[in-house]
Structure 1
Amino acid sequence: MGGRRPRTGHDWKLLAESCTALLERLPELVDEHVGQLAAYSPVYGQVLPHDQQWREAEAAMRIGITAISAPRDSPRRDLQHAEEVGRRRARQGLPLELVVHAYRCAGYLVWDALMESAAGRDPERLAVLVRCATMVWSAVDAQAATASQAYLATERELRRRTDEQLQALLDALLEGQEAPGLAARAAAGLDLPEHGAYAVVVLRAERHDARDGREGRDGREGRDGREGCGRPMLGAGLRFIWRMRADCEIGVVALDAGQGLDAVARLLDGRRAGPGGISPVVSGLGELGRARRWAELALRTCPPDARGVVRLDQRMPTALVVSEPDLAGRLVSDVFGSLLELEPGDRAVLIETLDMWLACEGSAGRAAGRLYCHRNTVFNRLRRLEQLTCRSLARPRDLIEMTLALDAYRLAGGHG
């Protein structure tokens, strides 16, 4: 086989003449092109006004036709223009499939017009055009590919900027900032109701690997399939939006009708997401700042060795203790003063007995079973505690002080 015949200078001359003649017909070609696009999809007209669409199509086709016969070493103005078009169409929101279709449609139209100009009248010119077919379609493919790459790059940048804007809105809400329309803008961007049931979860940073609780996606995320602050994540029917901080991870939970904090706690405990705190339910995005502070307070009620996730509404007494650390330290000293002077082992036994007795709702028998000792041993230890603290577990006020002092002692890592 002899291979393809190389294009001669004469071939390039005939191709250039054909392209120059075609430029004289450009207005009619643009009219036909715009009409074909409108027939293919009404989206073209929805994104671009007819006059603007016509002008941009005329410029693109003129540059494309000129590029066909340009010297091989000429700058690729057609590719530069395609890159600009790709960026512009991404910002305008025209689907990428329609951008590529427009290039293909224009390529077919130009090629058919070139062939028509030589068919039946100039066999030599027709033969040259046929030999140039591969080159022409390679140029069209390169233009479409360049526009696609520019489109995708611009789309990624737009998404990044959008996510950053949504993160800023969410952060402002979590910080409790007040600004006109802030909650409404966040609701629109996050695709969540402005008014509805929400809770906030705060997890310690060293445990943030437990974000498995975010697996799955809300159907509303599917419109662009990307992750990030701007899109709710689904877990056990609950929608979470997570924000990473240096020392913690914060999750906003959107609760549907019939869902409560029990479901949130079960999900996070099942994924071993703790230690963490869950706020009470608030009634809208505008209250996320308060909910975050409550969730942080709930987390502070967790002892240093805790691994679970706790709800503030179930830890109110302990929350009152941790919210005043100086007063909590004074409470421990006042209530457990003599107890703290004991040998560490002796002190630990008495503290454990009080803790278990409280956990068993004041049942010495149940506490004895968990402590693997006789119930009389439990009674003896409790009486000793009463003697050391000068308080009676039978008096409600004394019992409250003992309970709060025990919480403060635990939260301080077991040190008085």
Structure 2
Amino acid sequence: MDEDVRQTLRTAASALLDHHLTRLTDDLVDRVRQADEVYCAYVSYEDHWSSTREGVRQGLAAILQEPSERRDLVFTAAMAQRRAEQGLPLDSLLRMYRIAGQVTWTAMVEYTEREFPDRLGVLVRAAGHVWHAIDRQCMVTCDTYSRREQEILGRSKERIDAILDALLDGTADAGVVRTAAASLDLPERGRYAVVTVRFPGYRHQDDVRLPGSLGGARLLWRMRAGHEVAVAALGEVTLDELCQELSLIVSGVGGVSPVVGGLAELGGAHELATLAMRTCLDGGPELARLDARIPAVLVITQPDLAGHLVSGTLGPLLSLDAADRDLLLTTLETWMACDGSAARAARRLFCHRNTIINRVRRIEQLTGRSLARPRDIVDIALALEAVRRLPETT
């Protein structure tokens, strides 16, 4: 910038600073609030006016300072941080700077045209320098705002995670439950379930709404040690519908709790969902509902008793050589899965119906149990669950 341009700019800036600061502030505030209703919603008029006056003062004063000083940028950064904390959108803040540039430049042109018309051509050569200064303010605003926004979001997420942890751990008292309802925008009483997914599982957003066809059910995910957890605010969605939707996106193994009646019950639901997940065999994908896995849960939660049950019920069968043992266990499991129908079991195992009947009789002889007696069937069914899910019992 040559000295003639610099002096012309400084003359205009000094005059505006000394005699027109209040008028410029009024003009800029009115134009911003007329152009952007969002600004009005987040920033009070008093706050807006006082900060604008200081911002205009700093901007004009910067023209009188050496370029290396740019004390206006310190104020710009502080204001960007403050507006981020207030929640004002960045677009609104940047729009304000564009309007500020227009108002300030127009005032400089009008002053120079009125007082020093012969220098108007010189002032025009300074336009690029003025708008470059505005661009620098916008760059500082974007950088500071973004960093502060990330800090705020990080703290907000940490707070939400802490609230979810208290709910899922069952340590939330009545006050925490009320805070959770307000912070998470959830009702204290309502239909909830908990979903657990073991890694590798499902890559997701932290807060997901299921499709509208499922009544807008909402999933709030939280990463825990070794697995992920979701609080499912079901609304009118059934567990069948929830599981159907999850089955399309969960690639690992997971568990689903029964429906509970409020946020205070999520700790117990989390335990039940974790137990349901533990019944899943390796490999997946598999999504286990607790209400469909109760026998398996009973087995895995009492491994010592399960071991006694296995040895007392299936011991002689398990003592056979591996090929014979596996054949009879597969037959028994298939026969029970077919509700005791030898014909259906035979079709599944690609053999004759009489082959199934003969194998079932042999199982009864080995175990001393009758597959026609309900109590023996219960013992055998639980023992089979233990054999499948607790290999150490065999």
In the superposition, the TM-score normalised over structure 1's length comes to 0.87
Equivalent position to 1:27, from 16, 22, 31? 22
Deviation of 1:197 after TM superposition, in Å, equals 1.5
- State the distance in 2 between where 1:203 and 1:94 align: 37
Equivalent position to 1:247, from 226, 231, 235? 226
Cα 1:96–1:270 shift into 2, 3 Å: closer
Deviates more, 1:248-257 or 1:397-406: 248-257
In the alignment, what sits opposite 2:132?
138
Query: What is the aligned partner in structure 1 of residue 179 from structure 2?
Result: 185
CA distance in 2, matches of 1:187, 1:146: 37
Q: Is the 8 A contact 1:12 1:69 kept in 2?
A: no
Indicate conservation of the 8 Å contact 1:199/1:278, yes or no.
yes
Amino acid at match of 2:97: Y
Partners of 2:282 and 2:5 lie apart in 1 by 83
CA displacement, residues 295-336 of structure 1 (integer Å, 9 cap, x when unaligned) = 111122233455421211112222222221111111111111
Q: Which runs of 5+ in 1 are unaligned?
A: 1-5, 215-226
Given candidates 32, 39, 45, the residue that maps to 2:34 is 39
Partner of 1:166: 160
* Distance in 1 between residues matched to 2:114 and 2:229, nearest whole Å: 74
The aligned runs of 1:81-230 (5 Å cut-off) are 81-205=75-199, 207-208=200-201, 211=202, 214=204, 227=205, 229=206
Equivalenced residues, count:
390
Would the aligned equivalents of 2:306 and 2:393 in 1 still touch at CA under 8 Å? no
CA distance in 2 between partners of 1:270 and 1:97 (Å) = 38
2:271 corresponds to 1:293 = yes
Cα distance change of structure 1 residues 390 and 19 upon mapping to structure 2, 3 Å threshold:
same
Q: How far 1:55 moved relative to its partner?
A: 2.0
Q: Which residue of 2 aligns with 1:338?
A: 316
Q: Distance in 2 between matches of 1:194 and 1:71?
A: 60
Shift of residue 293, structure 1, vs aligned partner: 0.6
Change (3 A) 1:319 1:90: same
**Take 2:182 and 2:157, find their aligned partners in 1: how far apart are those partners?**
13
Pair 1:283-2:261 in alignment: yes
Letter of the 1:99 partner, please give it: L
Mean CA deviation greater in 404-413 or 15-24: 15-24
- Cα distance in 1 between the residues matched to 2:284 and 2:121: 83
Structure-2 separation of matches of 1:394 and 1:122: 112
Equivalent-residue separation in structure 1 for 2:114 and 2:317 (angstroms)? 111
Distance 1:265 1:164 in 2: 28
SS of equivalent to 1:342 = coil
1:269 to 239, 247, 253: 247
Per-residue deviation, 1:365: 1.3
Is residue 303–residue 413 contact of structure 1 (8 Å, CA) maintained in 2? Answer: no
CA distance in 1, matches of 2:84, 2:179: 23
Q: What secondary structure, in the 3-state scheme, does the structure 1 residue paired with 2:218 have? A: strand
Q: Could you tell me how far 1:88 is from its partner in structure 2?
A: 0.9
Q: 1:33 deviation in Å? A: 2.1
Q: 2:374 aligns to what?
A: 396
Give the structure-2-normalised TM-score.
0.91
Q: Is the 8 A contact 1:269 1:309 kept in 2?
A: yes
What does 1:316-331 correspond to in 2, within 5 Å? 316-331=294-309
Instruction: Decide whether the 8 Å contact of 1:268 with 1:274 is kept in 2.
Output: no
1:150-205 deviation digits (Å, cap 9, x = unpaired): 21222222122212211111122111112233233333333333322121122222
- Comparing 396-405 and 190-199, the one that deviates more: 190-199
* Equivalent-residue separation in structure 2 for 1:159 and 1:48 (angstroms): 20
- Give the aligned residue type for 1:251: A
Cα distance change, pair 274–109 in 1 and its aligned pair in 2 (3 A): closer
| Post-superposition offset of 1:43 | 4.0
Percent identical among aligned pairs is: 43
SS at match of 1:407: helix
Conserved 8 A contact 2:310-2:383: yes
Residue among 62, 74, 84 paired with 1:67: 62
Q: Which residue of 2 aligns with 1:15?
A: 9
Match of 2:208 in 1: 232
Q: CA deviation at 1:266?
A: 2.4
Q: Relative to structure 2, which stretch is displaced further, 12-21 or 328-337? A: 12-21
| Aligned residue type for 1:234 | L
1:39 corresponds to which letter in structure 2?
A: Q
Aligned 8 A contact 1:243 1:251 in 2? yes
Q: Which runs of 5+ in 2 are unaligned?
A: none
Amino acid at match of 1:278: V
Distance 1:197 1:125, change over 3 A: same
The answer on 1:360 being equivalent to 2:338 is yes
8 Å Cα contact 2:167/2:177 also seen in 1: yes
- One-letter code aligned to 1:302: C
